[in-house]
Chains A and B, each alone.
Chain A
Amino acid sequence: MKTAVLSLLFPVCITWPAFAGPCSGAEAQLAKISKALTLNTVDTAENSLRALSSSYPDCPEIVLHQARLAQAKGSANQAAELYYRFTDTDPNDSRGLAYFGRFFLEQGDYMRADALSAAAVDKNPDDPVALALRGQVLVMKGQSSEGQALLEKATKLDPDDPEAQFQLGTIYDKAKAATKAVEHFRRAATLNPQDARAWDYLALNLEPTGDPDGSDQAYQKGLRVNQAGRYHDAFLDYNYGRFLAKRNDLAASKEHLDRGVQSVPEIRAVWYERARLNLRMHNYQQARTDAEKAAACKQQGGILDLQIYSLLSQVYARLGETALARKYMDLTRETPPPVRGEQR
């Protein structure tokens, strides 16, 4: 009996290469490449892919990683073409659908990102890549608790995915759960030190935990890597400028707020913050210019009309513009403060 079994197995073993897939033997290297792309070590991934693609010309997973590489390098058209190629070849691969979905998300095509993320989780509800994307999409759709649950699961299955850690951090950030947010942003920034967003959020959340020095360091690390690309943070200078004002380093604060204004001039918050700083520095004319620009901005960036009225009333009062000061003081009085939640 034992001999019979062995004899049955033997032909299977010796004919294995004939049945092996086109990526067979490259699994370990592919995993390394995938990890490198996840961690945004693009050069490593590119070199390894180049070497591997000549040896495994028919391996579809190489196409998937080429698509991710093109995406990481900002070649959107090439990335799209490669993602299509991969998903045509293997429409049931949850990772392919998820990465393609993330590509669409980065392109601002939320409908397709939504569809692909749903399909990816449907194909494999235990794929951390699919879960992370779906979680993020659900949060964006306002289904926060469902999204959070998926992101929690994703980070448990793969704690080394910096994007999943980052997205989970943003949920805790919104909930003002700074300690938990710090945990995830720190992990995201450690895994992918090129992610300026993660450093920025880490800094923002370290501050309320009572660690301003840690916050300062995180901002500086973020500023060192804040370059154009998928991890660029347009608000990093703005946030650091605000932070430095609290640390009473007004000159440095001004430098960063100046950059913040250049970076996102369409956002009210950056003008507002620089106006506040100029007011504090007794640069009243500049404060006036900035405050008036803030008032004219359509994108509020979290700054309410009440805050603008209060600021303008102070600026005009300091400048001796009595009528204008009175107008905005009246508006300040008449505008009710925001209702911030039912409980505290």
Chain B
Amino acid sequence: MMSRKFFTIALVVVLATPPKTLWGADAGRIQFENRQKNSGVSFVLDNSTLPDKPMIDGVPGGVALLDYDSDGYLDIFFTNGATLPGLTKEGDKFSNRLYHNNHDGTFTDVTARAGLRGEGYSVGAAAADYDNDGFTDLYVTGFDRNFLYHNNGDGTFTDVTAKAGVTGVSPTGKKLWGISAAWLDYDNDGKLDLFVTNYLDWSFATSRACGSPGKRLSCSPTLYKGEPNILYHNNGDGTFTDASEVMGISRHIGKGMGVAIADYNDDGWMDIFVANDNERNFLFSNRGGKAFDEVGVESFVAYTDSGLPVSSMGVDFRDWNNDGKPSLIITALGGETYPVFRNEGNGFFSYDSYKAGIGFRSFKMSGWGAGIQDFDNDGYKDLFTANSHVSENADLDGQQHYRQANAVFRNMHDGTFQDVSGNAGSDMQIRAAHRGCAFGDLNNDGKIDIIVSAIGSPAELLYNASTGGNHWILIKTVGVKSNRDGIGTRIKLIAESGLVQYNHVTTAGSYASSNDPRVHFGLGADAAIKEIELKWPSGTVQVLHNVKADQILTVTEE
């Protein structure tokens, strides 16, 4: 018989154990190491600039993680600026860059061979296989030029922008200022469509100088009119049709920055969230693939709970509290706090920045890239933000800082997050003018790594060195009836312990960047998965049972 004393001690131990470890997840530390130095990745984002600090110089810096050569390892693409005001990529320093992953922590610059040097002032990138040929293609947004690069499958790309009809030019003939792009199959017809956010009606002719001479600051976007976003419908023959008007997108004029997609109302149709800079945010609710209703106000994500806009920059749209409802994290500028909108599942979102423990911590931060990812593989998604103020001279203010350290917030499993940036390794303390960032598993070790672009300093290759030894799985979807990438597939995972998680296939999210299309789940102590349910965009529901952890699982649509 168990002694009373022993029973009491055992009970105390159990009660004293934080709930998060009851099911076995190891509460290891989230750690990142910047392994850029010997990687062969020498990219430095060059925004060019002029003494008057024009609007254009603050916003470049998209990154894409894509496996362009289908070797099972993510490669890295960086967008870059151009001369100002000439907008030419003179010399190598303004070239966009593609780095091939050599599988050993090093990369090789293959830009020239791939034909991805680019033209004009590039900003964002979005990768996906739009023609279902098995090779990942690339869309690049920019101030003066957008490009669609078709992957030829031999390490080279072909510029098919004009032929495809995705130039980023409005029906009135104006090239809109492209920032981010997202691939999604909005009508579930098996072909990936393209959504492009556009920013301001700005030009060098209308450019204003703000601040005082020698101490110029970035002007507020409120000085300029916004621009409509674009939705291109994929015709399936290598061409696209501008469906912005017919689908109800272009009548909403915003100042689009980040874009993320998710089926927020679980109706089987992918919805689109656009982070607008100092304007109300847009949530385009997909009405059965026939039209989009902009419901930002109706769902309470247009503004923060103060009824005012913030400088929304980057965004991610995923379920972080394992309730099956994708929620939002948005980056903004110092003094605003990063908005966190929790999806209630009833069409409404709650502004939870302070409730989630993000409010006070992010008050002094200015951010761009953002991601909701499980960095410590404990089964709960954490948050990461790539930080920097928009104004190069922000430090003149005394309260703001141009160069800032990135931030990582650990999910505490109770709807709150803890800022663990200070303990996430010395490389997380690097102060730089960070911009876009992309999330993915670079070395296929089951941990989500981050590539961060930074103006004027080497890009950071933040390898996830988190401790804890938790289990994981990466799911690569191959659509058959659905689009080949399986973008839009909603995945529900039930681990051996019973923990239920949700995620979906997308490369969109963050700021002007494109993420690993493989869907990652941390599994804590669970070495096996009871069930994986995939709801494909085609409507097919596929269920897998008793799946081993710690593998990259390819699931082909049945």
A residues whose Cβ falls under 8 Å from a Cβ of B: 176-180, 207-208, 210, 212, 245-248, 276, 280, 304, 306-311, 313-314, 317-318, 329, 332-333, 337-344
Q: Which residues of A contact B390 (CB under 8 A)?
A: 344
Q: Which residues of B contact A176 (CB under 8 A)?
A: 335, 399
In the assembled complex, the CB of A243 is this many whole angstroms from the nearest CB of chain B, namely 10
> Nearest A residue to B300 by beta-carbon distance?
A314
Q: Which of B219, B335, B364 contacts A343 (CB 8 A)?
A: B219
Q: Which of B303, B335, B391 contacts A208 (CB 8 A)?
A: B335
Q: Quick check: is B333 within 8 A (CB to CB) of the other chain?
A: yes
Q: Quick check: is B360 within 8 A (CB to CB) of the other chain?
A: yes
With a 10 A CB-CB cut-off, give which of A246, A310, A317 has the most chain B CB atoms: A310
Q: Which of B37-45, B210-218, B514-522 contacts A (4 or more CB under 8 A)?
A: B210-218
With a 10 A CB-CB cut-off, give which of B223, B303, B335 has the most chain A CB atoms: B303
In the assembled complex, the CB of A163 is this many whole angstroms from the nearest CB of chain B, namely 24
Q: Which residues of A contact B210 (CB under 8 A)?
A: 342-343
With a 10 A CB-CB cut-off, give which of B220, B279, B307, B348 has the most chain A CB atoms: B307
Given known A180-B398, A248-B354, A317-B348, contact A311–B307 (CB-CB < 8 A): yes
Q: Are B218 and A344 in contact (CB under 8 A)?
A: yes
Q: Are B302 and A177 in contact (CB under 8 A)?
A: no
> Nearest A residue to B354 by beta-carbon distance?
A246
CA distance A193 to B354 in the complex (A): 30
Binary contact track B429-458/A, C-beta < 8 Å → 1, others 0: 000000000000000000000000000000
CA distance A152 to B490 in the complex (A): 62
Given known A248-B355, A337-B279, A337-B280, contact A343–B217 (CB-CB < 8 A): yes
Q: Which of A180, A210, A280, A339 contacts B360 (CB 8 A)?
A: A210
Interface of A is mostly: helix
Q: Are A338 and B308 in contact (CB under 8 A)?
A: yes
CA distance A7 to B217 in the complex (A): 72
Q: Quick check: is B311 within 8 A (CB to CB) of the other chain?
A: yes
In the assembled complex, the CB of A215 is this many whole angstroms from the nearest CB of chain B, namely 9
Residues from 300 to 356 in B contacting A, C-beta threshold 8 Å: 300, 302-303, 305-309, 311, 333, 335, 348, 350, 354-355
> Nearest A residue to B299 by beta-carbon distance?
A317
CA distance A311 to B307 in the complex (A): 7
B residues whose Cβ falls under 8 Å from a Cβ of A: 208, 210-211, 217-220, 222-223, 278-280, 297-298, 300, 302-303, 305-309, 311, 333, 335, 348, 350, 354-355, 359-360, 363-364, 390-391, 397-399
Q: Which residues of A contact B208 (CB under 8 A)?
A: 342
Q: Are A246 and B211 in contact (CB under 8 A)?
A: no
Q: Are A337 and B363 in contact (CB under 8 A)?
A: no
Given known A177-B399, A329-B298, contact A212–B307 (CB-CB < 8 A): no
- A sample of 24 cross-chain residue pairs with beta-carbon separation below 8 angstroms, ordered by A number, consists of A176-B335, A179-B399, A180-B398, A207-B363, A210-B360, A210-B363, A246-B354, A280-B350, A304-B307, A309-B307, A310-B297, A310-B302, A314-B300, A332-B297, A332-B303, A333-B280, A337-B278, A337-B309, A338-B308, A339-B220, A340-B222, A342-B223, A343-B219, A344-B219
In the assembled complex, the CB of B9 is this many whole angstroms from the nearest CB of chain A, namely 34
Q: Which residues of B contact A340 (CB under 8 A)?
A: 220, 222, 278
Q: Which residues of A contact B223 (CB under 8 A)?
A: 342
Q: Which residues of B contact A329 (CB under 8 A)?
A: 297-298
Given known A208-B335, A248-B355, contact A307–B307 (CB-CB < 8 A): yes
In the assembled complex, the CB of B420 is this many whole angstroms from the nearest CB of chain A, namely 16
CA distance A339 to B364 in the complex (A): 21
Q: Which residues of B contact A310 (CB under 8 A)?
A: 297, 302-303, 307
* Beyond A208-B335, A310-B302, A339-B222, 7 extra complex contacts between A and B, CB < 8 Å: A246-B359, A306-B307, A307-B306, A310-B307, A341-B220, A343-B220, A344-B217
